[in-house]
Amino acid sequence: MASRPELILASASPRRLALLNQIGIEPEHLVAAHIDETPEKGELPRKLAQRLADQKALAAQLKARESGFADTAVVLAADTVVAVGRRILPKAETIEEASDCLRMLSGRAHRVFTGVTLMTPSGAQKRRLVETRLRFKRLSPREMESYLASAEWRGKAGGYAIQGIAGAFVVKLTGSYSSVVGLPLHETVSLLAGEGYPVHFNWLNQSTLTAV
């Protein structure tokens, strides 16, 4: 019987690892994939999310091969893009970028696209692209100032983290919450199961909780 494939998570994001752990999946390897995430001229948000996920998967596989542990491993990569219309919001690194994002999102609808790529040992890529629609409340100057002071926005697409304080800003969400956090779990499980990864293995070992 063929041995089960190992899993390489092509990310240094603690959020994506936590989401995998939430559904009982512990990657055998973590390989950060550093790529140029600059949008191409005229590139649409959904295209950018999928392209970056593809490039992260490829970069991580090449890096893993150099270390000698990619021969039988599948590589999982994802990238999340926040957009208002066709405008792609940055992954905020400065308080000015975060402030611009909050002003753009305040009281408006926006979309979050997460591209997921699973790369097989042979180099084949299996993909999913998930779109989630959200609307923020109108933010007061005090709310914006306080959120910027929290620094929760740093490194986050669109300048916010829905799993943190910014969850209080969301009036409506249609689609996948986990995708907005950084990894759509339903689609990820589907991709992994399709490649023979035992996504349900650890579920069988979970302790049974008994109500008192």
pLDDT mean over 33-58: 95
| Tens digit of each residue's pLDDT (9 = 90 or more) over 55-65 | 999 999 999 98
Q: Quick one: pLDDT at residue 62?
A: 92
- With the C-alpha atoms ordered 13, 15, 17, 20, is the resulting torsion angle positive or negative? negative
Strand partners, 187: none
Question: Could you tell me the two tokens for 207?
Answer: 């302790």
| Domain 6-205 class, CATH top level | alpha beta
Degrees to nearest 5, angle at CA 33 with 16 and 96: 75
Using the structure block, give the residue that is written with the tokens 């956090």: 181
Cα–Cα dist 131/112, whole Å? 6
Tell me the H-state helices in 36-94.
45-67
Q: Quick one: pLDDT at residue 205?
A: 66
Cα–Cα dist 36/97, whole Å? 18
Asked whether the predicted pLDDT for residue 209 surpasses 70, the reply is no
pLDDT mean over 180-202: 91
Q: Quick one: pLDDT at residue 53?
A: 97
Contact 38, 104 (CB under 8 A): no
All structural domains of the chain with their residue ranges = 6-205
Asked whether the predicted pLDDT for residue 211 surpasses 80, the reply is no
Determine how β-strand 6-9 pairs with β-strand 73-84: parallel
Using the structure block, give the residue that is written with the tokens 């499980």: 189
From residue 108, give the alpha-carbon distance in Å to each of 70, 146, 153: 44, 20, 18
pLDDT mean over 78-92: 97
Question: Could you tell me the two tokens for 27?
Answer: 């990657």
Asked whether the predicted pLDDT for residue 177 surpasses 90, the reply is yes
* Catalytic residue numbers, as ranges: 79
Asked whether the predicted pLDDT for residue 208 surpasses 50, the reply is no
| Tens digit of each residue's pLDDT (9 = 90 or more) over 135-158 | 999 999 999 999 999 999 999 999
Q: Quick one: pLDDT at residue 3?
A: 64
